[in-house]
């Protein structure tokens, strides 16, 4: 069984790694913003669907690490700048163009920072 307090800490680590808000993250994985808030607070436990949406949208997140904290994040081989694929919506995601533009802007700034 997933420990909701530890899961919320790992979820927070993902948000910090990608430098995104909970609202942006919710939109990227196509879940309600309140779902993220309730999981981060420990009020609710994540559903299987919720977990699968995360690992589908963010390939650097290992399923085993997300569920029980064992393994690594970001996954080995993806230790620098988040991949372009992670900032793109999945085919069944209804992320608005404004959010995508903001993510692209952050990626450009991050790319500039790491290359200068």
Give the global pTM.
0.63
Least confident of 2-6, 17-21, 66-70, 80-84: 80-84
Cα–Cα distance measured from residue 43 to residue 82, given in angstroms and rounded to the nearest whole number: 29
When computed from its CA atoms, the radius of gyration of the chain, rounded to whole angstroms, is: 14
pLDDT at 75: 78
C-alpha dihedral, 89 to 90 to 96 to 99, nearest 10°: -20
More confident residue, 1 or 47: 47
Q: Which of 37, 36, 41 lies closest to 51, judged by CA?
A: 36
Q: Which fold has domain 4-115?
A: 434 Repressor (Amino-terminal Domain) (1.10.260)
More confident residue, 102 or 7: 7
Parse the chain into domains and list their residue ranges. Answer: 4-115
Query: Hunting for tokens 């919506």 — which residue is that?
Result: 89
Cα–Cα distance measured from residue 70 to residue 74, given in angstroms and rounded to the nearest whole number: 12
Interval 17-29 mean pLDDT: 95
């Amino acid at each position: 069984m997933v420990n909701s307090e530890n899961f919320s800490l790992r979820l927070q680590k993902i948000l910090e790694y990608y430098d995104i808000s909970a609202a942006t993250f919710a939109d990227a994985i196509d879940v309600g913003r309140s779902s993220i808030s309730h999981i981060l607070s420990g009020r609710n436990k994540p559903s299987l669907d919720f977990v699968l949406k995360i690992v589908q949208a963010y390939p650097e997140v290992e399923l085993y690490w997300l569920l029980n904290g064992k393994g690594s994040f970001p996954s080995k081989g993806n230790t620098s700048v988040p991949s372009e694929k992670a900032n793109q919506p999945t085919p069944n995601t209804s992320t608005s163009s404004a959010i995508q533009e903001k993510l692209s802007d952050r990626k450009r700034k991050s790319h500039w920072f790491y290359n200068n």
